[in-house]
Amino acid sequence: MASSSFLLFTAILALVSWQALASDPGPLQDFCVADNSSRVLVNGFVCKDPKAVTAEDFFLAAKLDMPRDTKMSKVGSNVTLVNVMKIAGLNTLGISLARIDYAPLGENPPHTHPRATEILTVLEGTLYVGFVTSNPENKLFSKELRKGDVFVFPQGLIHFQFNPNPYKPAVAIAALSSQNPGAITIANAVFGSNPMISDDILAKAFQVEKKTVDWLQAQFWSNV
């Protein structure tokens, strides 16, 4: 009986520990500024000597008040990400942000953030946004947002934003719960992988002819 209780306790402890480690590691000191010159490989970045830390390690002249160019993007959007690679002081703090500019009828196409939940605030314009739940339901939660509205995209779920206005651009700011949230754009990953996924596999997965897959794979896929 005691052995069974111990095994149950161990299993619960392992489950709780896994949940505790399922996001960015928490800081064990006031800060751990990333030392980008270190060659030591860790989950995140090695801490810079605190005595060498300055205010500049927590600062970036990001000019997030300035509009971004969306004309070079095939999907009509421009994401300006501010993460630990831009501000070393974000290391271990579990947060980053992005400015997203949308051209008229532009979109931030379906994608996921494998390491972060996202909370998005519309600064200008209107956005139609949504996310899809995991299998088997694949339920779509969507909403039209206006200036000042806020929407949450749970970690790891496929989501998107679209500017339905054919005449006016839109702007949003997104906060993400990781110093390095990552992004996987679905179309790019599936049809633009390197090396390419077999067209036999994709034809069966999407229930289309191989020539359709071949055409999609021949397109120029860019993460912008």
Does residue 2 belong to any structural domain of this protein?
no
Mean pLDDT, the chain, integer: 89
CA angle 191, 193, 194 (to 5 degrees): 140
Q: Is 36 annotated as a binding residue?
A: no
CA quadruple 172, 177, 183, 187: dihedral sign? negative
Question: What pLDDT is stored for residue 28 in this prediction?
Answer: 77
Q: Is the pLDDT of residue 93 over 70?
A: yes
Three-class secondary structure of residue 127 per DSSP: strand
Task: Answer yes or no: do 124 and 89 share one domain.
Answer: yes
Q: Is the pLDDT of residue 80 over 80?
A: yes
Q: Is the pLDDT of residue 2 over 90?
A: no
State both tokens at 209: 């002819």
Q: What is the CATH number of the domain that holds 95?
A: 2.60.120.10
Does residue 5 belong to any structural domain of this protein?
no
pLDDT tens digits along 94-143: 999 999 999 999 999 999 999 999 999 999 999 999 999 999 999 999 99
Query: pLDDT category, 18, cuts 50, 70, 90?
Result: very low
Question: What pLDDT is stored for residue 13 in this prediction?
Answer: 45
Task: Answer yes or no: do 133 and 62 share one domain.
Answer: yes
Task: Answer yes or no: do 97 and 189 share one domain.
Answer: no
Which pTM does this prediction carry? 0.85
Does residue 199 belong to any structural domain of this protein?
yes
Q: Is 108 annotated as a binding residue?
A: yes
Task: Answer yes or no: do 205 and 127 share one domain.
Answer: no
Task: Answer yes or no: do 175 and 106 share one domain.
Answer: yes
Residues near 20 by beta carbon (within 8 Å), at least 6 away in sequence: none
Per DSSP, 210 falls in state: H
E strands, 11-139, are 77-82, 96-102, 107-112, 118-124, 127-132
Does residue 205 belong to any structural domain of this protein?
yes
Q: Is 111 annotated as a binding residue?
A: yes
Query: pLDDT category, 20, cuts 50, 70, 90?
Result: very low
Does residue 178 belong to any structural domain of this protein?
yes
Does residue 163 belong to any structural domain of this protein?
yes
Residues near 171 by beta carbon (within 8 Å), at least 6 away in sequence: 67, 99, 100, 101, 102, 122, 123, 124, 125
Question: What pLDDT is stored for residue 17 in this prediction?
Answer: 45
Q: Is 159 annotated as a binding residue?
A: yes
**Cβ proximity of 102 and 169 under 8 Å:** yes
State both tokens at 129: 């946004």
Task: Answer yes or no: do 218 and 116 share one domain.
Answer: no
Range of the domain at 27: 23-182
Task: Answer yes or no: do 59 and 147 share one domain.
Answer: yes
Task: Answer yes or no: do 198 and 154 share one domain.
Answer: no
Cα atoms in the Cβ-side hemisphere of radius 13 Å centred on 208: 10
Question: What pLDDT is stored for residue 3 in this prediction?
Answer: 56
Neighbours of 55 (CB within 10 A): 7
E strands, 44-116, are 77-82, 96-102, 107-112
Task: Answer yes or no: do 106 and 168 share one domain.
Answer: yes
Q: Is 118 annotated as a binding residue?
A: yes
The mean-pLDDT minimum among 20-29, 170-179, 194-203 falls in 20-29
Question: What pLDDT is stored for residue 95 in this prediction?
Answer: 95
Cα atoms in the Cβ-side hemisphere of radius 13 Å centred on 217: 18
**Cβ proximity of 87 and 120 under 8 Å:** no
Between CA 24 and CA 58 the distance in angstroms is 18
Total structural domains within the chain: 2
**Cβ proximity of 161 and 127 under 8 Å:** yes
Task: Answer yes or no: do 79 and 142 share one domain.
Answer: yes
Task: Answer yes or no: do 108 and 195 share one domain.
Answer: no
The mean-pLDDT minimum among 28-37, 79-88, 100-109, 133-142 falls in 28-37
Does residue 37 belong to any structural domain of this protein?
yes
Question: What pLDDT is stored for residue 105 in this prediction?
Answer: 98
Task: Answer yes or no: do 38 and 92 share one domain.
Answer: yes
